[in-house]
Amino acid sequence: MPRAKIYGYIAVIVATLMGLVFVYYAFIHYDMYSSVHFSSIDTGAYWAVVLPIALVTLFVLATCFWVGYTILTIKVAPPMPEIVEKKDNSKFKAFLLCLVTIALAVWFVYGLYHHSYLAIAIPAACITLVILGMIFWVGIAIITTRSTLKKDK
Amino acid sequence: MRALFLCYRGNPFCGGQGIYLYNLTKELAKLGVVIDVIVGPPYPDPLDEWATVYKLENLNMWAIKTKHFPYEKLIKLYKPWHFVDYCLTRFHIFPEMETFSMKAFFLLRKLLKTNHYDIIHDVQCLGWGLLPMKGYGIPIVSTVHHPLTKDREADFPVDNTVWEMACTILFYPLTMQRIVINRLDRVITSSKEGINALNEAFHLSPEKVSVVYNGMDVEFFRNNGSPRQENTLLFVGNTEDHKKGLRYLFDAMTMLPEHVTLTIVDDGPPKRLTAWGWITERGLEKRVTFTGKVDLSTLLHLYSTSTILVMASLYEGFGLPAAEAMACNTPVVVTNAGALPEVVGDCGVIVPPRDAVALKEGILKLINNKALREELGKKGRKRVEDNFAWPVAAKNTLAVYHDVIQSYRSRI
């Protein structure tokens, strides 16, 4: 078997295992509704863990807000009539996007302030699972794609 | 003097960057500048005669689904920068400029162990990697023919859904470019109009901008003497680029007599379908033909034998096809968008952009008047010889280098 395919299998297995372990320990094994929360952790340690996750989360939310805001405010030359007809509610959707991202950001910061477990666990899960998902998907693609390279390469 | 060029795409056939890199470095080398080039794919025609070339790999993953990746690309995804590229492209971000500039930064660190550079010349990348490069104490200039805000403005009106608009916004790295461009030592642009465009797009101070007109091969682009065909229009450019205003040209075609035909120098169906969709909507299938990618001698033949070159652009940072057609004594009908009026001067018919009726009238004015066509053709050739030759561009670029280096040294 070509070495790349072996790496593909390793990527799929590792990403799957890590994803399952993460979900199990973050959301199933851990009693999220128990009284044990991050409030018992030392403040320095809490922020050391939380800050990177908070920055990534706020960056993603800010990007979504910026996309909505740009659609709302961009000025382009008047398009041709048939294009105007197609764009009936894009500004409204962009407004909703801005509203939702602001609400999520406020909710997230409120959760951080109160040392909420879910406020950290959900973004951490999103970030981790997206990256693991990409590694998994690359692995699957490598396993299932036929090489067009010559055998001696 | 030793200069390092950075060019994230060196495509020799379209996009302009590869052509710019090839010709400018060739002429600068003739003026005694030692040239090194860091370039990404598609790679330019060989520059080895006058430059040392360092190729950086890029897998060009944007808009390709993972399951459609060829195996040879897939197995390279485990390299860190390729994986970064991969992750960002899955979110519809176009990361080529960011990752190219970062890879170039790390390569430069190695090169500086043996080489000394007087100046770094970036070609339209404006990636994050240029900022840490400033730490090496080398002045950096960048050539920007037009800001990407113009591309985004042209794409936006044809996006139909919020999702398409969001993808357009994510595609263009304007925030990065706005931050980086204001921290460079000088920006070279190819027209006076470019100064305003850069100021409007990135709030770039006009004092930081130098105008150097683009060059072209005026010896090669010369009428080849083949008989000119009547009633044939020519369009040269990327049909997927909404800035080219092709819809307006097709609208004008519907108002022109049936015997007027249009030849497009670019790929048509099945490779590229946007323009073909507009053509079928208007019932122009029999009057519009696509040549696909052509070699330079075929392009020269098309310029020399077509009745008129038409550019219906909504914006042009320079408008090289107009200059090339003028060099072949071919009259042009162009819009007064961007730098086109500066390039064409009084050697063509200039009409407002986004106005199919005006475009049609401009085309008819020339089609019906052979004497005027011949007069404009002769004037066009002279204008190109006087202003747009590569040796002139190289000489002016070198003058900018000297100025930048002098002011850089006076600051430190």
Q: What is the pLDDT of residue B397?
A: 97
**Residue A73, domain member (yes or no):** yes
What beta strand segments (E) does B101-221 contain? 119-123, 140-143, 186-189, 209-211
Of all helices (H) and strands (E), which one includes residue B290?
A: strand B288-290
Task: Kindly state whether residues A46 and A31 are assigned to the same domain.
Answer: no
Q: Are residues A111 and A55 in the same domain?
A: yes
Please write the tens of the pLDDT for every residue from B133-188: 999 999 999 999 889 998 888 787 778 788 888 899 999 999 999 999 999 999 99
Give the residue, A85 or B297, on which the prediction is more confident. Answer: B297
**What are the chain B neighbours of A97 within 8 Å (beta carbons)?**
162
- Are residues A148 and B156, on separate chains, in Cβ contact within 8 Å? no
Inter-chain residue contact A77 with B78, CB threshold 8 Å: no
Q: Which residue of B has its CA nearest to A66?
A: B169
Report the residue of chain A nearest B165, measured CA to CA. A71
The answer to whether B156 and B135 have CB atoms below 8 angstroms apart is no
Q: Specify whether A2 is located in the same domain as A27.
A: yes
The answer to whether A145 faces chain B, any CB pair under 8 Å, is: yes
User: Which of B59, B69, B71 to mutate against chain A (most A CBs within 10 Å)?
Assistant: B71
* CB-based contact A134 B158, cutoff 8 Å: no
Hey, is the C-beta of A146 within 8 angstroms of any chain B C-beta?
yes
Would the CB atoms of A142 and B71 count as touching at under 8 Å?
A: yes
Q: Beta B209-211 vs B232-236: how paired, if at all?
A: unpaired
Helix ranges, B172-313 (H): 174-181, 192-202, 246-255, 274-281, 296-305
**Short-list B231, B153, B227, B143, CA closest to B187:** B143
pLDDT band at A153 (very low <50, low <70, confident <90, very high): very low
> Which candidate from A67, A76, A93 shows the least CB-CB separation from B156?
A76
A20 & A69 share domain:
no
Set of chain A residues whose Cβ sits within 8 Å of the Cβ of B354: 77-78
- Counting the structural domains of chain A, the total is 2
Same structural domain, A107 and A134: no
Cα B142 to Cα B122: distance, rounded to the nearest angstrom: 4
CATH of span B2-215+390-411: 3.40.50.2000
Between A106-110, A114-118, A148-152, the lowest mean confidence (pLDDT) is in A148-152
Model confidence pLDDT, tens digit, residues B319-366: 889 999 999 999 999 999 989 999 999 999 999 999 999 999 999 999
Q: Do A145 and B69 lie within an 8 Å CB cutoff? A: yes
CA nearest A63 in B: which residue? Answer: B170
Query: What per-residue confidence (pLDDT) applies to A72?
Result: 86
Of A134-148, B143-157, B255-269, where does mean pLDDT reach its minimum?
A134-148
A62 near B CB under 8 A: no
* Residues of chain B found within 8 Å of residue A71, distances taken between Cβ atoms: 162, 165-166, 169
Answer yes or no: do B354 and A77 touch at CB < 8 A.
yes
Q: Is residue A152 part of a domain?
A: no
Which residues on B lie below 8 Å from A63 (Cβ)? Answer: 170
In a domain, A133, yes or no: yes
Whether A56 and A111 share a structural domain: yes
Q: What's the CATH fold of domain B232-387?
A: Rossmann fold (3.40.50)
- The reply to whether A76 and A137 lie within a common domain is no
Q: Is A134's Cβ below 8 Å from some Cβ in B?
A: yes
| Residue range of the domain that includes A17 | 1-37+128-146
Give me the total of CB pairs closer than 8 Å, taking one residue from chain A and one from chain B: 75
User: Smallest Cβ distance to B157: which of A66, A79, A141?
Assistant: A79
Average pLDDT, chain B: 92
Which one of B67, B76, B77 would you mutate to disrupt binding with A, by most A Cβ within 10 Å of its Cβ? B77
* A4 & A28 share domain: yes
Q: Span B279-298, mean pLDDT?
A: 92
- A76 band by pLDDT with thresholds 50, 70 and 90: low
Domain boundaries, chain B: 2-215+390-411, 232-387
Pick from B24, B31, B19: nearest CA to B5: B24
Closest CB to A4 among B69, B75, B83: B75
| Residues A60, A101 within the same domain | yes
pTM of the model: 0.80
The reply to whether residue A77 touches residue B169, judged by beta carbons under 8 angstroms, is: no
What is the three-class DSSP state of B140? strand
Q: Is there a domain that residue A27 lies in?
A: yes
Same domain, yes or no, for A48 and A96?
A: yes
